[in-house]
Amino acid sequence: MSVGYARTGAAALVTLDRPERRNAVDGATAAALLAAFERFRDDDGARVMVLTGAGEAAFCAGADLKALDTLDVDAPGGPMGFTRLASPKPTIAAVAGWCLAGGLELALWCDLRIADETAAFGCAERRWGVPLIDGGTQRLPRAIGMGRALDLILTGRTVDAREALSLGLVNEVVAPGRHVERALALAEQIAAFPQETMLSDRRAALEGAALSLQDGLALEARLGRERLGAALAGAQRFAERRNSRP
């Protein structure tokens, strides 16, 4: 099986499992990624998805160039499986080794990125004339700014984990081999919060990014107003806990 799916606590751990191809994605793997995403989306008990790659050499080296003709560029979910779909719940990429081309685009699709010290990122498709077609031209500038994004897109250069952290491309760098462990711990932390309001705030941030400030504030106000019941319940829990202290 080219993609593994396992429930680990409140997380769904989705693993690209083609280490002999540096977890590169062919048509069958793209279909398996889409199926894994849909399984996560429909699993009410899975509150966070952690996406990673099998082995230590690569998170994902991108599209499998030896099987490029098996990928559907017009697939509704995107050639790499689900990159044109929006996740209704938080997602984390756990990255070790090469994270290149379409693999970088998969990582950028995730809300958060945890890298170990061996991770390396880049738009390596530049050297082969393959376009960024799984969201890279749109998500990379949103993640690190247009100037820095164009540096990576135009030059195709590779950045290591520490430079990726300084660019804002990753959220945290951990010791080699600890990336999945840290991502799962972070998933449990996120899953422990009251979900209704957390998901609403996530939606406001993601959808508001494409709006004017005025329209974004209106979206935040509307969504926040819909969560007042949850807010009052949370305030009551806080008051009861505080009043119960000796």
> What sign results for the dihedral spanned by CA atoms 39, 44, 46, 51?
positive
Instruction: Single out the residue of 99, 100, 83 nearest to residue 91, CA to CA.
Output: 83
**Please, what are the domains in the chain?**
3-191 (3.90.226.10), 195-243 (no CATH)
Q: Mind listing the pLDDT tens digit for each residue in 151-204?
A: 999 999 999 999 999 999 999 999 999 999 999 999 999 999 999 999 999 999
| pTM of the complete model | 0.94
Q: Percent of the chain at pLDDT above 70? A: 98
Question: For the residues 223-232, what does the mean pLDDT come to?
Answer: 89
Following DSSP, what letter does each residue of 75-95 receive, concatenated? -TT-TTSSTTS--SS-EEEEE
Return the closest-CA partner of residue 76 out of 68, 67, 85, 88: 85
CA distance 14 to 3: 7
Q: What is the largest CA-CA distance in the chain?
A: 69
Catalytic residues: 63, 102, 105, 125
Instruction: Compute the C-alpha angle 113/137/11, nearest 5°.
Output: 25
